[in-house]
Structure 1
Amino acid sequence: MKTRSLLSKIAGVCMAASAALGMTAAQADTIKVGVLHSLSGTMAISETTLKDTILMLIEEQNRKGGLLGKQLEAVVVDPASNWPLFAERSRELLQRHNVDVVFGCWTSVSRKAVLPVFEELNGLLFYPVQYEGEESSRNVIYTGAAPNQQAIPAVDYLMNDMGIERWVLAGTDYVYPRTTNRILEAYLKSKGVKDEDIMINYTPFGHSDWQSIVSDIKRFGSAGKPTAVVSTINGDANVPFYNELSNQQVSAEDIPVVAFSVGEEELSGIDARNLVGHLSAWNYFMSIESDQNAEFIKNWHAFIGDTNRVTNDPMEAHYIGFNLWAQAVEKAGTTDVDKVRSALYGLEVPNLTGGTATLLPNHHITKPVFIGEIRADGQYDVVWQTDGEVPGDAWSSYLPGSKDIKADWVELECGNYNTKTKKCAGQNY
């Protein structure tokens, strides 16, 4: 009798332990969302906020019940503004943590570093920052602006509305500024701008000594023709650049700067009173009035616990990308990458400026374009905008090697299809 009693107790304990393990397994049955943004190094000034944005969106989705009956779990890694480390961290997310999707990267060099990993392991990356185009990967959804959704409209505005005739193309020395400036140089020349009216300058990441460069810009702008700076300077180098403009009394009336990588977050670390009138080209500004934007800002301030924190364009891109992914998961009934990707095409979600973002067959989205003028409080007044959303072009029509290339992952199943030879140049891009 005692033996049977003991065995019964042991069996009861085992059943209880088994039940507990089952509960633990059920609780661990989450949908894992990878977050691949620099939390240290030169790009932390821009990327840390994007990590927080994804955490907020995950928290909101979980309050709605998650996806497919499961809660979402964030897996955050820090590639520390180190491009090879981006590749290592992406492999860690996909192989070790088995994440279902990744939101991340800022610079194009970081995206280029992780691209082979995502293609090898068939991961899905949502990339939220304006970039140079010339790419369409099966494994990347580009929710930031292509050049025809930011750079080209900005130059058109400067040329047509401000009468600019001389051009300084100033950028950080890596793939995004160099490729974007190749496109802009070709575009300017197609509009009749001469070589002597274009000045191109590159500086390394984190560059801090701008005195001689700003002096050169002033000298270039003193030729009697209206001059502007088109800036693809990235990261924390923007702070000393704008400070030096102020030190040398280069005002927006003298030589306006239109920036593609400076938004509300970057301006929050600068005395914007000295920058009034300079410009940025984006697809979203915090100051734009819409019901969606008001709700987003309210939720952001509540999540971050600071009503002084700003919002910016790449945050909106993550908002759009996350909602597209969530809708595709529900539509597909699974987080399987291939099925989610197929479900994404043609999906529409609201953007934050009162319009709609549509996922196109080339893995880009539709976006409005805004030119904003810096205010003394670090916000922007919109001075120009497109009539509606502009479809993103993966390949530029202004570069000889690209004008005949088309990306279409629905009908052509190719990101690099030559419309003349009728051939796909590569499996993915």
Structure 2
Amino acid sequence: MSGTVQNFASADMGSNSGSGSGSAAWRVGVLFSRKGHMREPETEHFRGTALAVEEINLAGGVLGRPIEPVCYDPESSPELYRRYAERLLTEDGISTIFGCCTSSCRKAILATVERRNALLWYPSLYEGFEYSPNVIYTGAAPNQNSLQLARHLLLNYGPRFYLIGSDYIYPHESNRIMRDLVMREGGEVVAETYLPEQPHQDQVVRAVEDIRRRAPSVVFSTVVGQGAQVLYRIFREAGLDPRTMPIASLTMAEGEIRAIGPELCVGHITSAPYFSTVDTPANHRFVEAYRARFGTDAPVTMYAEAAYFQIRLFADALARAKSLDTQRLVDAVLGTELDAPQGRIRVDPDNNHTYLLPRIGMVNEHGDFDIVWEAKAPVKPDPYLVDHIYDHA
């Protein structure tokens, strides 16, 4: 799909849209893919966004006015992201966009967003080392997932790390950080390998053969999208056991686990602020509402949750700013706290990123994550790793 969607109902999300139309509506842009190699996590971003918008509109909107989404499907393509962002900000007269999953897509639209003085709400974890006054970052920065994961793996599995990633900016930067953490703690990186963003199965087979040959303690994967699903399947088909040599990730969530097959993934590890098994009243309500909306078997993931709570943050800021003016919205949202499904979050006025609660989960036989570790309190985002202290917990 490459055209405009004036509400979520016409984007194959069901019929209970609740979106408004007309000059009184708050018009915003939505850029998440439902096609291409990133379709699973980006569809979850899209659904979390849809659920929050619909709930707000059914409750009367913001200041009595509905939120009206103008949506495009960039099909996992940075070039389409760039094109549709330009269209939203010029032809459609939009100034606020909710969108992007991969860093390559965020980077593709960032210059346009800044040039037009628009505001991007970005709900995905990423590699850090970025700040824009025109972006609100609601996903995890490296000090909210990578640091905690490195410590957990070194303590519980051993010092020999195999790094494998997709060949673009996020994996390269995340692996650079992980290499630094591992080596500083006396560990060893036995290999660092990259696959195309849409790898051929033979390329994955060769990588898994190399993993078997080098016999690391753990595999740290920044392979994303469909390539990650192929990697996890071939890993098990090769007879490698996640209980003794897990693949550890910052990106693998419940949706992709279900697509791979939970029986192939038991024992693999993800570090993230949110899993569907988080035990908070807000999360119980969120999971119930999400599955009522999208199906009782719909996987509830970090991608859906961050997209959901950032719409809630936006609505709160909009109610105070009373305007879609970028600077007024930014001023209103900085410092804002919210009881998100994952727990209490806060937008840091220092860097536009979000205080989040780091957690580590292990895949169980149901395709969910058993939370095996969590921080005692939300961690201040440190996207540039200025306060590069290993143990933040």
TM-score normalised over the length of structure 1: 0.82
> In the comparison of the two structures, how many residue pairs are matched?
367
Tell me if structure 1 keeps the 8 A contact 2:164–2:193.
yes
How many Å apart are 1:163 and its aligned residue?
Answer: 4.2
Tell me if structure 2 keeps the 8 A contact 1:351–1:357.
no
In the alignment, structure 1 residue 122 sits paired with structure 2 residue 117: yes
Q: Which amino acid aligns with 1:200?
A: E
Tell me if structure 2 keeps the 8 A contact 1:346–1:361.
no
Tell me if structure 2 keeps the 8 A contact 1:37–1:78.
yes
Percent of pairs with identical residues? 31
Tell me if structure 2 keeps the 8 A contact 1:272–1:378.
yes
Q: Which amino acid aligns with 2:277?
A: S
Q: Which amino acid aligns with 1:184?
A: M
Cα distance in 2, alignment partners of residues 398 and 249 from structure 1: 41
Q: Which amino acid aligns with 2:220?
A: V
For 2:163, which of 158, 169, 175 is the aligned residue? 169
In the alignment, structure 1 residue 310 sits paired with structure 2 residue 299: yes
* Structure 1 match to 2:27: 32
In the alignment, structure 1 residue 270 sits paired with structure 2 residue 260: yes
* Structure 2 match to 1:62: 57
After alignment, is 103-112 or 389-398 more displaced? 389-398
* Structure 1 match to 2:194: 202
> Counterparts in 2 of 1:138-157, with a 5 A limit?
138-157=133-152
Cα distance in 1, alignment partners of residues 387 and 330 from structure 2: 29
Tell me if structure 1 keeps the 8 A contact 2:154–2:187.
no
For 1:383, which of 342, 362, 372 is the aligned residue? 372
Q: Which amino acid aligns with 2:325?
A: D
Tell me if structure 1 keeps the 8 A contact 2:24–2:65.
yes
In the alignment, structure 1 residue 92 sits paired with structure 2 residue 87: yes
**SS across alignment from 1:391:** coil
Instruction: Flag the structure with larger Rg.
Output: 1
Q: Deviations over 1:13-46 (max 9, x none)?
A: xxxxxxxxxxxxx933211121101121111122
**SS across alignment from 2:259:** coil
Q: Which amino acid aligns with 1:340?
A: L
Q: Deviations over 1:326-372 (max 9, x none)?
A: 11111112121111111111110112133333443201010111111
**SS across alignment from 1:206:** coil
Tell me if structure 2 keeps the 8 A contact 1:290–1:354.
yes
Gapped regions of structure 2 (runs ≥ 5): 1-20
Q: Which amino acid aligns with 1:33?
A: V
Gapped regions of structure 1 (runs ≥ 5): 1-25, 404-429
How many Å apart are 1:384 and its aligned residue?
Answer: 0.8
In the alignment, structure 1 residue 181 sits paired with structure 2 residue 175: yes
Tell me if structure 1 keeps the 8 A contact 2:46–2:307.
no
Q: Deviations over 1:83-141 (max 9, x none)?
A: 12111101111111122421110000000000000000011111111100010001111
* Structure 2 match to 1:132: 127
Quickly say closer, same or farther: Cα 1:350–1:359, change in 2 above 3 A: farther
Cα distance in 1, alignment partners of residues 323 and 129 from structure 2: 31
* Structure 1 match to 2:16: none
In the alignment, structure 1 residue 392 sits paired with structure 2 residue 393: no
How many Å apart are 1:274 and its aligned residue?
Answer: 2.2
Q: Which amino acid aligns with 2:297?
A: N
Cα distance in 2, alignment partners of residues 143 and 245 from structure 1: 32
In the alignment, structure 1 residue 48 sits paired with structure 2 residue 43: yes
> Counterparts in 2 of 1:240-319, with a 5 A limit?
240-304=230-294, 306-319=295-308
After alignment, is 125-134 or 271-280 more displaced? 271-280
In the alignment, structure 1 residue 220 sits paired with structure 2 residue 209: no
Q: Deviations over 1:195-252 (max 9, x none)?
A: xx4311110112142211111101111xxxx610111111011121111111111112
Q: Which amino acid aligns with 2:269?
A: L
Give the aligned CA root-mean-square deviation in angstroms. 1.7
For 2:101, which of 99, 106, 128 is the aligned residue? 106
Q: Deviations over 1:381-418 (max 9, x none)?
A: 0111111101111212499xxx9xxxxxxxxxxxxxxx
TM-score normalised over the length of structure 2: 0.90
Cα distance in 1, alignment partners of residues 134 and 39 from structure 2: 25
* Structure 2 match to 1:335: 324
